[in-house]
Amino acid sequence: MISDQLAEILGNKIIAYLITAAIPLFLFLVPYALYAVYAERKVSAFMQDRIGPNRVGPKGLLQTIADILKLIQKEDIIPKSADKPIFVMAPYVVFMGTFAAFAAIPFSSVFIGSNINLGVFYIMAVSSFSVIGILMAGWAGNNKYSLYGAMRSVAQIVSYEVPALLAIVSAVMVIGTLNLNEISEMQTARFWNWWIFGGPLQGIQKFLLIVPMLVAFVIFFVASLAEVNRTPFDIPEAESELVAGFHTEYTGMKFAIFFLAEYGNMFVVSAISTAIFFGGWQSPFGYLGNSFSIPLLVPIEQVFWFLFKSLSLVLVQMWLRWTLPRLRVDQLMAVCWKYLTPYAFVNLVLIGIISLI
Amino acid sequence: MAELKTDHLVLNMGPQHPSTHGVLRLEVVLDGEVVIDVIPHIGYLHRCFEKHCEAMTYPMVIPYTDRMDYLASMYMNFGYVEAVEKLMNIEIPERVKYIRVIMGELQRIASHLVAIGTFGIDIGAFTPFLYCFRDRERILDLFEMTCGARLLYNYMWIGGLSHDLPPMFIPELKSFLKDFRKNIKELNDLLSYNKIFIERTANIGILPADTAINYGCTGPVLRGSGVNWDLRKNDPYSIYDRFDFEVCVGKGEIGTVGDCWNRYMVRVREMEQSCLIIEQAIEQLPEGDVTSAIPKRVKPPVGEIYFRVESPKGELGYHIISDGTVNPFRVKVRAPSFVNLQILPVISKGYLVADIIANLGSLDIVLGEIDR
C-alpha cells in the first residue's frame, strides 16, 4: 500500500493518508472530467454524423479547458430572491458527495485512497449525500423549474437506491466482504474469475451464479444510471420541460462544479461495477510485468486495466444517453418499484439459495 | 397549529423556453405534476403581415408569405401564387405546375423532418433530430441549387417561377430519394418503434375525431385522429389529381387513434407518400419555359377569392380581395398552426407536465404562421 509506505517515510499516518486520498483528485478527477466532457461531445458527434469540437488545439483537445476558462471568468450571479448561504453551499455539497467516494476506489492493488473494510457501503452512503446538495440547490434558487427538478431528483435518487443496494447486497452475499480491494483481489488470474462470470467459485455453484450475477449487474447499472441522472432517467434536468432542472439559476464556476460532479458520479458508479463485477484492477489475461519479471510494471498495468474497464462503462452511459429518449416521471417510478425492486429481491433470494449449495 | 392552505402552482413556460417551438408562452396551472389548465399566449412574433400586404403590390407580397411558416416557405408561396393566378385567370405552363408540385412536396418532407426531429427532442432523444436535419440539409441544398436561398425562397412567382431547374437537380433529387427511403427505416428503428418513445407518446393527448373537426383542426393533427381529409385528394388543386398516392391517417396500431404517436406516425408516412408523388412528377415532367406566363403587370380584376391548399401543417387558406388596383385590398390568411394550437389546452388537461411538451411537439406549430 502506498499510504503505508508514505506513513513510514513521513512518520505521520494522518498526513500520509490525506496525501493519498488527495492524489486521485488532482491526478485523476480533474483531467478525467475535462476529457470526459470532450469525449462525450466527440462520441455524440460521431453518433450524430457531426464533427464535434475541432477548433481549440489539435482535434479540439483543448476545448473543455477553454470552456472552463470561460466559466471561471463569468459573472457569478446570485439571484436576488435566492437563499444566499444555501445557494452558495449547494454545489460544494454535491461535489463533496462525489469526491468523497473516490477515497475508497481501488485503482490498483497498491493504491487505494483509504482501504476501509466497509468500502462498498461507504461509497453508496457518501454518494447519496449529493441528494442533499441537489435539494438545497433546487430550493435556494427560488425558481419553480429548479424546485420541480430538485423534487424529482430527490424522489428518483432515493427510490433508485433501493434496487441498487439490493443488487449490491446480493452480490456481496456470495463475495463475503465489503472491502473493494479484497473483492478485486479475489477475481484473480483470468477473466472467467470475475464475479459476473460466477467468480472464483468451483463447479455447479459457479455455473448457477452466472445468470443471477448478470441480473444483479444489469439492475445495478440501470439503477445507477438513475442515481447519476443520466438519460433515460435525466428527468431532474429534463431540458425540454424544466430548462436545466435544479441548476437552472447557477452560472460560472458553480455551474461547472455541478457539471464536474455529474461526470465524477458517472465514474464512481462505473468504478463500483468494475470492482465488484468485472474484476476490479485485475488484468483479464495476466500481467506483462510478471512474464517479463519487472514487478514495478504490475501496479501500473493494474491502474490501466481498472481505468480501461471503468471508462468503458462510462462510454456505455454516454452511448445510452445519445440513443434513448427520456422517461416520464411516473414511468420512472414505475420502472423502479414495479420492475427493478421486485427483480432485485428475487435475485437476492436466488443468490442466497445458490450460496447455500 | 394554523391550517395549511394548498394552492395550484402557476408555471410560466416561455416565451424563452427550450421547447415551446418559438416564442410561444404557455401559462400552465399545475397541481403537483398534474396539469389543471394550459393557456397559450401568442403574439410575440406579430409582424402585421396582413396589414402590410395592403400597401404592397401583388408580387411584393410573396416574400412576406415566405416569412409566415418559415419551415415551409415554398408551400406558402405555392398557396399565394395559385390564389392570385386563379383571381387573374392566368393559364400557367405545364412545366411550372410540375416543378411547383415537386418543390411543394420536397418542402413537405423538409417541414415534417423538422417536426419529427423536434418532437424527438421534446421526448428527450437528441440524436434523431440531427438525423432528420441531415436529410433536410440535402433538401435545402436542392433548393439552394435552384433559387439560391435556403430558407426564404421567393421562388414561385405569379404566373411562373423565378428560375428553371438547374441541370444537376433531377439526378441529385433521385439520389436523395433513394437514400431517404433508407433513412426513414432508420428513423423508425431508432425512434418510432422505440419502447420508451412509445411509452411517452402512445395514449397521450388523445384527440377524438369529432373534437378535432369541431375545433377546425387540419393536416396531420386531424388525420392523426383518423379522419381521412386531405385537400390534395378531397379538393384537388394544381395538378394533384394526376398523381397516385395515399392519404395517411392514424390507424391506432400502437396506442389510440388521435394520440401523439399516431399524429407523429402520420407525418412519417406522409413523407413516404411525398416521395411517391415526387417520383411520379419527375417521370411526367415536361419541357418548357417557366417564365413565359409571368404577367408584366399584376392587376387582378375586382373580385375576391378564397383559395386553400394542404400545407405541411394543414389547410392553408388565402382570402384575397381585389379592388382592381395593383395593391390587394385585403389579404386574410387562414393559418393551420393557429387553428391547431387551440386544441392544446383540450388535450393536455389531466396529463402530466411532460405530456404538455409531447402534445405541443405533436401539434407541430410554427409561430411565424400563428402570429403572422
Q: Where are the domains of chain B?
A: 44-371
pLDDT at A189: 67
What range defines the domain where residue A123 resides? 73-356
pLDDT at B348: 86
Indicate the residue of A47, A144, A329 with minimum beta-carbon distance to B354: A329
Residue at A253 is within a domain: yes
Q: Which chain A residue lies closest to B118 (C-alpha atoms)? A: A240
CB contact under 8 A, A44 and B126: yes
Residue at A34 is within a domain: no
Query: Which of B127, B200, B264 is the best substitution to test chain A (most A C-beta atoms within 10 A)?
Result: B127
CB contact under 8 A, A326 and B121: no
A48 vs chain B: nearest CA distance in angstroms?
6
- Kindly list the residues from chain A whose CB atom is less than 8 angstroms away from the CB atom of residue B130: 48-50
Residue at A37 is within a domain: no
Q: List, as one string, the DSSP characters of A89-105.
A: HHHHHHHHHHHHHHTT-
Q: Look at residue A3 and tell me whether its pLDDT is greater than 70.
A: no
pLDDT tens digits, A317-349: 888 888 888 888 788 888 888 888 898 888 888
Strands (E) across chain B are located at 9-13, 25-31, 34-41, 156-157, 160-161, 303-311, 314-322, 328-334
Q: Which grid cell sits at B225?
A: 385522429
Q: Look at residue A190 and tell me whether its pLDDT is greater than 80.
A: no
Q: For residues A40 and A123, is the Cβ–Cβ distance under 8 A?
A: no
Q: Which grid cell sits at A99?
A: 469526491
Q: Which residue has the higher pLDDT, A184 or B228?
A: B228
pLDDT tens digits, A60-103: 888 888 888 888 888 888 888 878 888 888 888 888 888 888 87
- Number of domain units in chain A: 1
Residue at A145 is within a domain: yes
Task: Report yes or no: B190 at the A interface, CB cutoff 8 Å.
Answer: yes
Residue at A29 is within a domain: no
Structure ipTM over 0.85, yes or no: no
Query: Which of B11, B135, B187, B196 is the best substitution to test chain A (most A C-beta atoms within 10 A)?
Result: B196
CB contact under 8 A, B124 and A47: no
Average pLDDT per run of 10 along chain B, which is 372 residues long?
Answer: 76 76 84 85 86 87 87 88 88 88 90 89 84 89 88 87 87 89 87 84 86 89 87 85 85 82 89 89 86 83 88 89 87 89 87 85 86 82
For B66, B174, B232, B287, B340, the CA distances from B282, given in Å and listed in that order, are 25, 9, 18, 11, 33
CATH superfamily of B44-371: Cytochrome-c3 Hydrogenase, chain B (1.10.645.10)
Residue at A90 is within a domain: yes
Residue among A134, A124, A195 nearest A160 (CA):
A124
Q: Which grid cell sits at B172?
A: 441529385
Indicate the residue of A44, A239, A331 with minimum beta-carbon distance to B18: A239
Q: What is the pTM of this model?
A: 0.83
Query: Which DSSP state fits B161?
Result: E
Q: Give contacts of B 74-133 with A, CB under 8 A.
A: 120-127, 130-131
